[in-house]
Amino acid sequence: MWYYVENGQQRGPVVDADLDTLRREGKINSETLVWRDGMENWLPLSQVQPSLATAAPVAGATAGAGGGVICSECGKVFPVSEVIRYGNVWVCANCKPVFVQKLREGVTVSSGPLEFAGFWTRFAAYFVDSIITGILGAIVGGVIGAVMGAAGATKGGAAGIIAVQLTAMIVSLGIRAAYFIYFIGKDGQTPGKKMCKIKVVNPDGTQVSYGKATGRFFGYILSSMICGFGYFMAGWDEEKRALHDRLCDTRVIKL
């Protein structure tokens, strides 16, 4: 499977025949950077597929992505003179401070394409997070129920009991919302995701915002409302996206 650069963004995966189609449509050319598993660095198409690179595109096609190297942080293409190299990784000047900080924190860096986390890995992470939020919700809900009971809320009969239960449910939902929004917005990893070594990112591998983390949480609810179908979508999607990933344009990757 091949990956290629278009307008400074990583695209793919595609098979060999797709590369020929993209070349014929003018979306890529001889200078387009491509990469596949086993390659040390991204290289121009002319160096890895000479026969494709020299073939003429169809008439009227537009030019594709240019040459250069990809910054492993922002995913944009830069001339070699405008980047620094660390092992097999290229980093632009703007991303250098972030990259150096990652090295100090012991984060593993890679120059290859994003490796998407599979359904079962994601399920394991969500299971751990559900246990944590379930325990927190039960504790806080129990405390609230006890307080409201002591204050006489349950003396109103069935209506009072329902009010206590409803309050506990709302508080439990609030705890889940705060948990997922905070951790995903902070660094893309809940405790469950950290345990499973996966992370939520934007399509270009960058950190998601708190706003997107909020939208993603409500996407969880929608995924659950349709009998969990939204979660199962990650099992057959080519980029392992669940419904909430599609709605918020996020990806879950392996670290």
pLDDT of 103-115, one tens digit each? 666 565 554 567 8
pTM, to two decimals: 0.54
Q: Is it the case that residue 181 has pLDDT exceeding 80? A: yes
Residue 90 pLDDT level (bands cut at 50, 70, 90) = confident
Q: What is the mean pLDDT of residues 86-94?
A: 73
Query: Residue 125's pLDDT is what?
Result: 93
Q: Is the pLDDT of residue 32 over 60?
A: yes
pLDDT given at position 131: 94
- Is residue 36 a contact partner of residue 1, using CB atoms and an 8 Å limit? yes
Q: Which residue has the tokens 């944009």?
A: 76
According to the model, what pLDDT value does residue 152 have?
63
Please give, one letter per residue, the 3-state secondary structure of 176-211. HHHHHHHHHHHHCCCHHHHHHCEEEECCCCCECCHH
